[in-house]
Amino acid sequence: MTVESPAELTVRAPERAPAAPPAAEDPAGGAAIVTRGLTKRFRGGQVAVDGLDLTVPAGSVFGFLGPNGSGKTTTIRMLLGLVAPTGGTHELLGLPLARALPAVGAVVEGPAFYPYLSGSANLLRFDAANPAASGRDAARRVGRALERVGLSAAAGKRYRAYSLGMRQRLAIAAALLTPRRLLVLDEPTNGLDPQGTREVRALVKEIAGDGTTVFVSSHLLAEVEQMCTHAGIMSHGRLVAHGTLTELHAGRSARLRVETPDLAHAAGILASLGLADVRAAGEEVTAELGEHAPDRVNAELVRQGVAVRGLAVARPSLEEVFVGLTGEGFDVDG
Amino acid sequence: MSTAEALVLPATRTSVTWRLLRSELALTFRRPRNLVMMAILAAVPIIIGVVIRLVGSEGDAGGMIAQTAGNSLMLTVVSLFVLVPLLMPVAVAVVAGDAIAGEAGTGTLRYLLTAPAGRGRLLAVKYLNAVLFGLALTLTVATAALLTGLVLFPAGDVTLLSGTTISLGEGLLRVLAMVGYVAAGMAALAAVAVALSTFTEVAIGAIAATVVLIIVTQVLRAIPQLDWLAPYLLPTRWTGFDGLLRDPVPMSEIWQSLLAFGAYIVLFCSLAWARFTGKDITS
Ligand SMILES: Nc1ncnc2c1ncn2[C@@H]1O[C@H](COP(=O)(O)OP(=O)(O)OP(=O)(O)O)[C@@H](O)[C@H]1O
Ligand SMILES: [Mg+2]
């Protein structure tokens, strides 16, 4: 028997349990972000975010998913006070926004810097805008932030000459200038090479390990599965699902896949064992596993003389959950 | 976390604003575009001085050119008369019109605001920066003119526009007063440009709108039927610094002009504040 489904590998439990501090100690009741009925109707009538009720537990790594135009960036802009909601309320870290923001690092809709300044001069500029940071140790902070994203060698280079991936890294460095309690990252791995993507993932895990809550929007579902403890899925401005990754997978049972030349025979046995939704196609038979133990099913197949070439249990990937909730179509939400 | 927290030293409110202003000034006074503008404007007095020196003052006996040739301080006055109606306001408009719109255009505005600079603080710092640029520009022009004048023309007692004569020292004081007056006029213009800058994400749009406004008011000023309007227009007030070269100085006129500048500053800073603090940042 071979276990070959990549999906199965990606749904193993997150390595780190959500490290939420006890609710009694936390003024926000254990939540880093709370929104109630958060709504944005742009001038012109476009409803970008529609009655969003979101709770991001402190200490979680929260994946904020949704198709293009589903309202992720607009939500992030409202959370950070860049865009005024037309309805509802929101709170970061249980504090008034002006007091919360110094403890929040953010990447919103990609990097934006002064092209004629070097990387470190750019970071110094944004550090100077943070009222919670003093100028005396700014240079050291900037140096450390650049080091964390692997940009030390390019610190003196003009931003204009940075590659897309270097720009993205600089934006993450800016979000890490001071110790943060919450990181809000809008598609942080956009434009990064595979190494860069892995590094960002490792960085997020490391930051989350320190107890920082991470709220990350992404299109890369496999990545969210590897990084996040929680996720929420947006569609047309509404939150259509949210919870821990395990909760999101629940309700969609795993499928058993049997690779065999004896299609009809195998299908008959699976059906007689009580597996639901048995389908045969090409060289394989699939069925909903339900409560059955795969090893028992395999033993039964072999006992009855079916030539089993491979057998795998495929749990639904986050991608399948996502597509199930937001639809297959290629059209953007608009 | 607690050890990391200790790495960030606490800062006071004023030091926070001062630090942001320093960062802003560094950007403004290191930006090649702004330095080039300052250099070009500083070259104007030198060119005027050299031309007057070479051509002389024939046919202008008793006029301003003759006075310039006769005393080193007068070149400063002539240079300001040439630059204040259009070129200096345009340079100030470039910096002030860029204030908010420029940051919005590059997208850096969203990162300044999430840093969080605070909208009120950022606007105040941006305006103050534009005012200081106007002052630095005026000082640069005046200094270039003074030095050129001292090199090319005789120093000594200064004959005022009203015919009386004052010492060189008092003349220098009056030039200093003129610099303050012109800088106040530029501060009023900066308020207009910063206000326009909060309405767009295209810096060049805010700059062009300010320049168009200057030109339109200059045209309005030239229409005799609109004489009643002239005292309320900035360009009319800008050139009022010549009062400081008369004896006695018409203080009531000077105060009126300063009051007008103040009114523009209050009005347009309020407009900018109302617009900017309520604006959705979608750039
Ligand atoms: N300034 C604006 N004025 C009007 N409509 C807007 C504005 N900004 C965004 N929208 C609309 O709001 C909706 C949500 O946009 P938003 O940028 O939040 O989507 P998103 O989920 O971040 O998409 P993507 O994955 O492509 O980044 C879209 O339909 C968009 O057209
Ligand atoms: Mg987006």
Give the position, in ligand 1's atom list, of the atom nearest the Cα of A40: 12
Spatial contact of A215 and A58, defined as CB atoms under 8 Å apart: no
Residues of B in contact with A116 (CB under 8 A): 31-32
Q: Residue B3: pLDDT above 60?
A: no
What span, in angstroms and rounded, lies between the C-alpha atoms of A19 and A208? 9
Q: Has residue A1 been placed in a domain?
A: no
The domain that holds A245 is classified in CATH as 3.40.50.300
Mean pLDDT, all residues of chain B? 91
Q: Residue B136: pLDDT above 60?
A: yes
- Backbone torsions φ then ψ of A279, nearest 5 degrees: -130, 135
Q: Has residue A329 been placed in a domain?
A: no
pLDDT in tens, B37-93: 999 999 999 999 999 888 876 656 556 777 777 788 889 999 999 999 999 999 999
Q: Has residue B282 been placed in a domain?
A: no
Which two three-digit tokens encode residue A176? Answer: 């890490």
> What pLDDT, on a 0 to 100 scale, did the predictor assign at position A20?
38
Q: Has residue B8 been placed in a domain?
A: yes
Q: Are residues A192 and A107 in the same domain?
A: yes
pLDDT in tens for each of the 334 residues of chain A? 343 333 333 333 333 333 333 333 444 458 999 999 999 999 999 999 999 999 999 999 999 999 899 999 999 999 999 999 999 999 999 999 999 999 999 999 999 999 999 999 999 999 999 999 988 899 999 999 999 999 999 999 999 999 988 999 999 999 999 999 999 999 998 878 888 888 888 888 988 998 999 999 987 788 888 889 999 999 999 999 999 988 887 756 678 889 999 888 999 999 998 888 888 888 889 888 888 888 888 999 999 999 899 998 887 777 777 877 887 665 666 6
> What pLDDT, on a 0 to 100 scale, did the predictor assign at position B157?
85
The last residue of a domain, from among A249, A265, A297: A249
> What pLDDT, on a 0 to 100 scale, did the predictor assign at position A1?
39
What span, in angstroms and rounded, lies between the C-alpha atoms of B158 and B149? 13
> What pLDDT, on a 0 to 100 scale, did the predictor assign at position B57?
62
Q: Has residue B283 been placed in a domain?
A: no
> What pLDDT, on a 0 to 100 scale, did the predictor assign at position A330?
55
What span, in angstroms and rounded, lies between the C-alpha atoms of A245 and A249? 6
Q: Are residues A180 and A96 in the same domain?
A: yes
Query: So what's the ipTM on this one?
Result: 0.90
Q: Has residue A175 been placed in a domain?
A: yes
For residue B221, the enclosing domain spans: 3-277
Q: Has residue B173 been placed in a domain?
A: yes
> What pLDDT, on a 0 to 100 scale, did the predictor assign at position A9?
33
Is there an atom of ligand 1 within 6 Å of A42 CB? yes
Q: Is B91 helix (H, G, I), strand (E, B) or coil?
A: helix
Q: Has residue A283 been placed in a domain?
A: yes
User: Could you tell me which of A220, A111, A219, A109 has the C-alpha nearest to residue A165?
Assistant: A111
Residues 6+ apart with CB under 8 A from B77: B64, B68, B175, B178, B242, B245
Give me the helices (H) in chain A, please: 6-10, 72-79, 97-100, 119-128, 138-148, 164-175, 194-209, 221-227, 245-249, 263-273, 294-303, 318-326
Q: Are residues A37 and A79 in the same domain?
A: yes
> What pLDDT, on a 0 to 100 scale, did the predictor assign at position B229?
92
What span, in angstroms and rounded, lies between the C-alpha atoms of A274 and A291? 10
Is there an atom of ligand 1 within 6 Å of A74 CB? yes
Q: Are residues A239 and A266 in the same domain?
A: no
Provide the number of structural domains found in chain B.
1
Q: Has residue A325 been placed in a domain?
A: no
State whether B114 and A81 contact (CB < 8 Å).
Answer: yes
Q: Are residues A97 and A46 in the same domain?
A: yes
Q: Are residues A64 and A157 in the same domain?
A: yes
CA A253 vs CA A310, B127, B205: distances in Å: 20, 61, 58
Q: Are residues A45 and A186 in the same domain?
A: yes
Q: Are residues A227 and A144 in the same domain?
A: yes
For residue A71, the enclosing domain spans: 6-249
CA A70 vs CA A91, A239, A282, B76, B280: distances in Å: 21, 9, 37, 61, 19
Q: Which of A112, A141, A179 sits opposite B111 (nearest CB)?
A: A112
Q: Has residue B254 been placed in a domain?
A: yes
Is there an atom of ligand 1 within 6 Å of A110 CB? no
Q: Are residues A294 and A156 in the same domain?
A: no
State whether B27 and A114 contact (CB < 8 Å).
Answer: yes
User: Could you tell me which of B201, B99, B111 has the C-alpha nearest to residue A109?
Assistant: B111
Q: Are residues A37 and A89 in the same domain?
A: yes
Q: Residue B6: pLDDT above 70?
A: no
Could you tell me the strand order of the sheet in which A230-235 lies? A104-107, A182-186, A213-217, A61-65, A230-235, A238-244
Q: Are residues A50 and A185 in the same domain?
A: yes
- What residue has token string 């299908």? A267
Provide the number of structural domains found in chain A.
2
Distance between B97 CA and the closest CA of chain A, angstroms: 17
Q: Has residue A332 been placed in a domain?
A: no
Q: Has residue B7 been placed in a domain?
A: yes
Query: Beta partners for A276?
Result: A288
